[in-house]
Structure 1
């Protein structure tokens, strides 16, 4: 059994500061000991237990580090994950896993050969509203589900300077950035689709990377629509579900991201709880009677991701976010790009 797992973090940008460090530090079994960053940050100065180093090689040479977290630009994920596995470290990679499904499979094979764990940071499986949708689908309140639609929208009508996500090139754009979350969630609920249809666009002036996507995942008797855009100013439903007995509509995003950006942590009372005004609405019939009302949103728990990783390393639990699932997410993204280019619906083969 492993009592304490020493963690090394490669990269200290927004994702690392917001989504990784405070969550890692909220899991008792994990101890962040080293961070690779070329830019000194005052927040690191305040924590003398964390050593700042200038390069990944220095971190990987530290035999005390058990788990390496990679929070760097997408195009570097494959190389850094490979180096970490070859150094006999367990690995967590920020989503998206890699920029190609072939690279993802290579990492899966390497991790298996090294007897190391590798997982992708699909923390939005632990969004409270997604957990609520998952619970709702475990009931018969909607009847047989026929349509599921999920949005991940923003309004940013300008390009951020020096932002690698906005640059042209492999792994850039919001299909990889935001779409990977929605695809992963759809896999959790419904498994792999039979076919994929995609419409991908560059809508903003001077944009170089995809900033709008509209995916349809085809299942037997079920249509799954996944959408995201950077020019969506008004509120669109985050989740819309229609079934043979009723519908469920939910506006607003999980509150954990905004709480983390304000400097709050999962140790705060009421963490992940959503105000009643943002709960979703169920409209259905039960025993022939019309029922309409709000459904309380379950509390979100981003710390559950890292708690599961710690438990899996210690042999106490099965890994929740399996690398094969994250590979399949990349394969669906590849197929979406091919579908958009060919203007057709394509069968999925993984």
Structure 2
């Protein structure tokens, strides 16, 4: 492998076009060389020179590719990841990494055996809302943390067209495996593996075969309680982050603006990318010495998913530590699989 890493993208649907290709293309350490497109051939129009394969087998067989991004349906992750590693490729796998702890451990062990990196794509660590929440918590302004709520809600009452998400016969289906990895990764990134947890799943949409609601209670030392919630039936979206401590509280009504900007065609290099609107600023409430309340509006730092791809490059090219660790992923999957 030369100084640049040649990247293949396993699919060029929404996630490929929005969450991966723009950032691979912009990173000087990567060459975006190939993609799989079974029907519509769009990638070469967006990125001239990119080779479009008809099948994933052809992509994996391309000896010019160093890193393959696995952004296919959840139930395929384990099989494709294993095949890529055995073909001598580094891998970056979308969440959930696998359906089970056993599968994840097998892939991590295989990666070490073949001398390749098995990395997990957890882009919500690079959301602006999460990062300002992290900054407030780590500042100590809230005092002893007591209660933390992270939410990721939508309103979609209809059954989706993506069968692999809506049919329990597929591994890693349902909302808990779809949005659960985001919330769990954020909590584990901040607080580590919980001492114990309690999980509730429900399916509330008419005709739903999979969970479309989850609630996960993570219990930590010092009586810190963290609550992760997601539903497909939130007509009025509640705050994404609420943190309460002995000296104050912080709330934030929206997680990040990057996805909506990218879906509208904005490029990561465009002015205003990753910068939230003023209405989405957080609210910091501190108890004053006289028992009053000091309320401050707190803007979030700029969100940038490109940071994740730079960390991927550094992990592969320079063997730098990757922040989404194997231990983080295993802890997440232990909860999802339970």
Superposed pair shares fold, TM > 0.5? yes
Describe how 1:14-163 pairs up with structure 2 within 5 A.
Answer: 14-163=14-163
The alignment status of 1:197 with 2:202, answered yes or no, reads: no
Describe how 1:278-297 pairs up with structure 2 within 5 A.
Answer: 278-285=280-287, 290-297=293-300
Q: 1:160 to 1:279 in 2, by over 3 A?
A: same
Greater Cα offset, 321-330 or 112-121: 321-330
The alignment status of 1:314 with 2:317, answered yes or no, reads: yes
After superposition, the CA RMSD in angstroms is 1.5
The alignment status of 1:218 with 2:241, answered yes or no, reads: no
Structure 1 residue matching 2:139: 3-state secondary structure: coil
Distance 1:323 1:78 in 2: 15
**Structure 1 residue 162: deviation in Å?**
4.1
Q: 1:153 to 1:19 in 2, by over 3 A?
A: same
**Structure 1 residue 163: deviation in Å?**
3.7
**Structure 1 residue 25: deviation in Å?**
1.4
**Structure 1 residue 272: deviation in Å?**
0.8
Aligned to 1:347: none
Distance 2:16 2:202 in 1: 28
The alignment status of 1:328 with 2:337, answered yes or no, reads: no
Structure 1 residue matching 2:242: 3-state secondary structure: strand
Aligned to 1:249: 251
Structure 2 residue matching 1:92: 3-state secondary structure: strand
**Structure 1 residue 153: deviation in Å?**
0.2
**Structure 1 residue 270: deviation in Å?**
2.7
Distance 2:306 2:78 in 1: 25
Structure 1 residue matching 2:64: 3-state secondary structure: coil
Distance 2:54 2:309 in 1: 25
1:107-138 per-residue CA deviation (whole Å, 9 max, x = no partner) reads: 00001111111111100000011011111111
Structure 1 residue matching 2:26: 3-state secondary structure: coil
Greater Cα offset, 146-155 or 21-30: 21-30
**Structure 1 residue 298: deviation in Å?**
1.0
Distance 1:210 1:275 in 2: 32
Q: Would the aligned equivalents of 2:23 and 2:309 in 1 still touch at CA under 8 Å? A: yes
Q: Would the aligned equivalents of 2:282 and 2:299 in 1 still touch at CA under 8 Å? A: yes
Q: 1:229 to 1:32 in 2, by over 3 A?
A: same
Greater Cα offset, 234-243 or 10-19: 10-19
Aligned to 1:174: 175
**Structure 1 residue 14: deviation in Å?**
1.8
**Structure 1 residue 333: deviation in Å?**
0.8
Aligned to 2:265: 263
**Structure 1 residue 151: deviation in Å?**
0.5
Distance 2:213 2:59 in 1: 37
Q: Would the aligned equivalents of 1:26 and 1:265 in 2 still touch at CA under 8 Å? A: no
Q: Would the aligned equivalents of 1:196 and 1:217 in 2 still touch at CA under 8 Å? A: yes
Q: Would the aligned equivalents of 1:27 and 1:307 in 2 still touch at CA under 8 Å? A: yes
Distance 1:42 1:10 in 2: 14
Q: Would the aligned equivalents of 2:43 and 2:52 in 1 still touch at CA under 8 Å? A: no
Q: Would the aligned equivalents of 2:41 and 2:52 in 1 still touch at CA under 8 Å? A: no
**Structure 1 residue 287: deviation in Å?**
5.6
What is the aligned length?
A: 335
Aligned to 1:343: none
Aligned to 1:239: 241
Q: Which runs of no fewer than 5 residues in structure 2 stay unpaired?
A: none
Distance 2:133 2:322 in 1: 22
Q: Would the aligned equivalents of 1:23 and 1:265 in 2 still touch at CA under 8 Å? A: no
Greater Cα offset, 307-316 or 91-100: 307-316
Distance 2:69 2:333 in 1: 19
